Amino acid sequence: MIDNLEKFKKEIEEKASQITSPEALEEFRLYYLSRKGLLNDLFENLKNIDKSIKGSYGKALNDLKNFAIEIFEVKSKYISKGKTKGSMIDDYTLPGKTFNTGSKHLLTQALEDITKIFERIGFKVYEGPEIEDEYHNFDALNTPDYHPSRDMQDTFYISGKDKDKKYLLRTHTSPGQIRVMENQQPPVRVIVPGKSYRNEAISSRSLSMFHQVEGLYVDKNVTFRELKGTLDFFAKEFFGKDIKTRLRPSFFPFTEPSGEMDVECFLCKSKGCRICKYTGWLEILGCGMVDPDVFKFVNYDPEVYSGFAFGMGIERTLLIRHGIPDIRMFYENDVRFLKQF
């Protein structure tokens, strides 16, 4: 029987939290405290309670009535002063307000995760300028004048004060590697995260602005095996310990030999599907050993030093990691999408 009174107490608390007007207050009084109210009926029924529990039940019932009266008086105080629900800040019987807490954007989370992974194996972080000159963006990276990436349809050129130099929005973060080597002698172990810009058509797979992370390691006797071990470590830390990887031959002007790393397709587990174009693999980054000609631009002796470099697009990597169908979703600021991460 006393358990029933506890249920009534919780009911009274819930009803009290909904009182925001004189009408609601009067409704509360009539339902619980009037002569025909619930509490009066309970007292009338007290004569039918078993004598063995009558005393404890009567005390609990009296406490319940006092509890309801106290709530009614507190609410009457605020309602009589004309206060609204939002101003009842002194009534600690009301449930607390809840607020939506902010969180870091998925891209910010990924950049921080990638940075921490490489920092654990000795890489430092360098952030280069987004407005670059043609020398650091192309020439020093062994990109010839006739390379299509230098054309206006692929690069955003801008005018600068120095008429002898061409300026542009960097097409990759690799110029940061050149700037680091210009100011530091080996050993060099650095990653360069940041925004890049290319004059590309907007689609579900490409944007004109995107994020990259480039990496560089230069020292004596650096081998391709170290490159593969470093990238395998990253892939397993970022995508999961059981992920399978592979390297394929490729070409980049600033690395020789060059390669591309793939990871097994998350959706089909290498069986082949539409997302992986039925190959069972998804490309995540390009890499290779630094071309000796690049060392000549920064006054490193290619007979003494060797190194490797790699670069990945963050948006496309996240498309793979989370199975996101459209790269534009990162920038639409749809809360329904952002809350998932």
Residues 54 and 110 in one domain: no
- In a domain, residue 95? The reply is no
Amino acid at 3: D
Tokens 């693999």 -> residue: 281
Residues 179 and 320 in one domain: yes
Strands annotated E in the chain: 124-125, 131-133, 157-158, 167-169, 188-197, 209-219, 245-252, 255-264, 281-290, 306-313
Residues 112 and 72 in one domain: no
What pLDDT does 97 receive?
73
Distance CA 203, CA 321 (A): 19
What pLDDT does 86 receive?
47
Q: Give yes or no for a contact between 124 and 177, defined as CB atoms under 8 angstroms apart.
A: no
Here the CATH number for the domain that contains residue 130 is 3.30.930.10
Residues 65 and 188 in one domain: no
Residues 36 and 121 in one domain: no
Residues 6 and 61 in one domain: yes
DSSP string, 96-128: PP--PPP---HHHHHHHHHHHHHHTTT-EE---
- Average pLDDT per consecutive 10 residues, the chain (341 residues; last block may be shorter): 75 83 84 83 79 79 85 81 51 71 86 94 93 91 81 80 83 93 94 92 84 95 95 92 90 92 79 76 91 94 95 87 84 84 80
pTM of the shown model: 0.67
3-state SS class at 129: coil
Specify the number of domains making up the chain.
2
Question: Around Cβ 201, how many Cβ atoms within 10 Å?
Answer: 7
Q: Give yes or no for a contact between 284 and 315, defined as CB atoms under 8 angstroms apart.
A: no
- In a domain, residue 97? The reply is no
Residues 222 and 129 in one domain: yes
What pLDDT does 148 receive?
76
DSSP string, 239-292: H-TT--EEEEEEEETTEEEEEEEEEE-TTTTTS--TTTTTSSEEEEEEEEEEPH
- Which residue segment(s) compose the domain that 59 sits in? 2-87
- In a domain, residue 93? The reply is no
Residue 150 — φ and ψ, nearest 5°? -90, -10
Last residue of a domain, one of 87, 117, 152: 87
Residues 252 and 320 in one domain: yes
Distance CA 143, CA 291 (A): 11
Residues 213 and 174 in one domain: yes
- In a domain, residue 92? The reply is no
Reference 140, options 310, 307, 300; nearest CA is 300
Residues 190 and 294 in one domain: yes
Assess whether the previous peptide bond of 257 is cis (omega < 30° from 0). Answer: yes
